Structure 1
Amino acid sequence: MSLSIAGALALAREMLAGSESPATDAKVLLAHVLGQSQTYLFTWSDKTLSETQQEQFLQLVSQRKNGHPVAHLTGYRDFWTLRLQVNPSTLIPRPETEILVEKALELLPETAESVCDLGTGTGAVALAIASERPGLHVYGVDRIADAVTLAKTNALHNNVANAQFLESHWFSSLTGKQFDMLVTNPPYVETSSEFLKLGDVRFEPRSALTAGEDGLDDIRFIITQARDYLKPGGWLLIEHGFEQGPAICHLYKQAGYTDAETFRDLAGHDRITVARMPACD
């Protein structure tokens, strides 16, 4: 039986009932199959799908029903003003990470010359900052070679020329460099967290998610080591779990940073904590 666009969406919502966002997922997947915008789906709701389109769409819906992330099914995720290719080698960019970009742009002085995104993954944060500050040199580093290749591809496809991506285990390839700001969305999930059994994270690399029993192993390392890679007065911005803000403020204080402050995301959860190196007298 041939389905109209409206009929296909209704069937997909039924198949995905009980999932986190059945209506949204159905629209994204059908727009992807048709190569059209979601507005098109409503404007031409009575249009009949071809046999190939219908088969492809229902296959994607079945995969989504089994838990596969929508971004992996379409091959991309929109973030900030960018369309980013994604793959299973790295995390899918989340909307809540945009607050990291917002705060970075707010705190960066006009005279800033360079920023580094630690654990860049798809390049989302680095490319968003670079796209807004074309005079800035933005680095993105990741220890996964496939992630670095992906970030370079995303820079090319989004016409961002002032971002450079390097393979580096945190600071290992940054010897001798200093930055006006370091930003990072590091692994911060506890290794025993039930969160790891839910949703999209089941299909994402565990190494990009977990960091010890309290989720702070990588953050401790970054806070300690970042002092050697920040200019005087330079900022370190860290995305983290909603209960980790106080612990990170304490780690900043222990390491000699100043002006530590935690900011919430749009859902009201603690999301990023920032601090800066003392400025020279």
Structure 2
Amino acid sequence: MNNPLQRYGNLVTVRDWLRYAVSRFNRAGLFFGHGTDNAYDEAAYLILHTLHLPPDLLDPFLDARLLDSEREAVRHVIERRVTERVPAAYLTGEAWLRGRRFEVDSHVLVPRSPIAELLDEGLSPWVEAPETVMRVMDMCTGSGCLAIIAAQAFAHAVVDAVDVSEPALAVAKRNVAAYGLQDRVRLLRSDLFADLPVDPVDVIVCNPPYVNAASMAALPAEYRAEPELALAGGEDGMQLVHRILESAPDFLNPGGLLLLEIGHERPHFEAAFPTLEPMWLDSEATQDNILLLTREQLLDGRD
């Protein structure tokens, strides 16, 4: 039997394998955007994870020589990334968002929502006193990452983490347990608001499926590997957004806030809801991707 490492005889150190992986990824034309945005960072992450090394500590190990078993493990993960064209997070079973680790698999989106940054800031200045927020809902929770960050941002709040997907809720359950938040984060299965009791909350955060049909058809393989249920928003991306905006005010307390991510769909949002005037919120990496509406604005929009 041929030794698969024979052709890689000159690749001995972490530095060697890092150079090789970057070249391999660039030559294959991989798409990045699930935690990294370039071949170097993606290669470094995959190699460090495979070698069970700290994900943020590359330099001390660059010239470390690898055992044959380690070389084979690194070779294998590099080849999987190239041939399977899935996000690195699905290969490692984890994703990092705002310095937090979350378990993931192919039943959930890879955590990357810019809403996380706004939650880390306590939704300031729109929430004046985070300690007064007692109820939060994370609609379309997926891995549960935003529900967990919301529970950390609002220390006195109970958070309802809602999703229609049972496999997604199973992932969320493990993440909630990993952060010890079982007493404050409740996992609920529902088709948006349809199967929930009306029990108003102070804040709803939502990263719904919003990708329009033309954009879905053009997605690179790495994005097509994510669950279509969590991405596809119909012809104009607003199919589920209509339902969310219609029902949300019934589930918000007076003065309550809806924070909604819609990606690059602002033109479609404005065409679909011409009478609404949301506040568009920026994050470090995005503009016009997140909107904020009050309960009162949502009620007025029904008229």
Is the TM-score greater than 0.5? yes
1:142 alignment partner in structure 2: 163
Query: What's the counterpart of residue 87 of structure 2?
Result: 69
Provide the rounded CA distance (Å) in 2 between the counterparts of 1:246 and 1:206.
Answer: 20
Which whole-Å deviations, capped at 9, do the CAs of 1:88-134 have from their partners, x for residues lacking one?
11111115342453576323343221000000000011101112222
In structure 1, distance between residues paired with 2:246 and 2:113? 28
Write the letter of the residue equivalent to 1:272: I
Aligned to 2:289: 271
Matching of residues 73-84 of structure 1 within 5 Å: 73-84=91-102
In the TM superposition, 1:114-129 aligns within 5 A as 114-129=135-150
Aligned residues: 275
Q: Are positions 1:231 and 2:253 aligned together?
A: yes
In structure 2, C-alpha distance between the alignment counterparts of 1:146 and 1:243, rounded to whole Å: 27
Task: Name the SS of the counterpart of 2:209 in structure 1.
Answer: coil
After superposition, the C-alpha distances for 1:223-277 in whole angstroms (9 at most, x for unaligned) are 00111111111111100022416735973846xxxx7211133345311111111
**Quick one: distance in 2 between partners of 1:261 and 1:138?**
24
Which sections of structure 2, spanning at least 5 residues, go unmatched?
1-8, 33-37, 298-303
Structure 1: unaligned runs, 5 residues or longer: none
Residue 191 of structure 1 corresponds to: 213
- Retained in 1: the 8 A contact 2:255–2:294? yes
Name the amino acid aligned to 2:202. D
TM-score, length-scaled by structure 1: 0.89
Matched position secondary structure for 1:192: helix
SS across alignment from 1:270: coil
Deviation readout 1:136-161 (Å, 9 max, x if unpaired) = 11110000001111111001112234
The C-alpha deviation readout for 1:193-244, integer Å capped at 9, x for no partner, is 2564315211011111111110001011100011111111111110002241
Residue 30 (structure 1) aligned to one of 47, 54, 76: 47
Change (3 A) 1:34 1:84: same
Aligned residue number for residue 96 of structure 1: 114
Aligned to 1:51: 68
- Give the match for residue 193 of structure 2: 171
TM-score between both structures, scaled by the size of structure 2: 0.83
Q: Distance in 2 between matches of 1:7 and 1:201?
A: 29
Aligned counterpart, 2:20: 11
Deviation track 1:164-208 (CA, whole Å, cap 9, x = no partner) reads 111111113321311111110001111222564315211011111
> RMSD over aligned Cα, in angstroms?
2.3
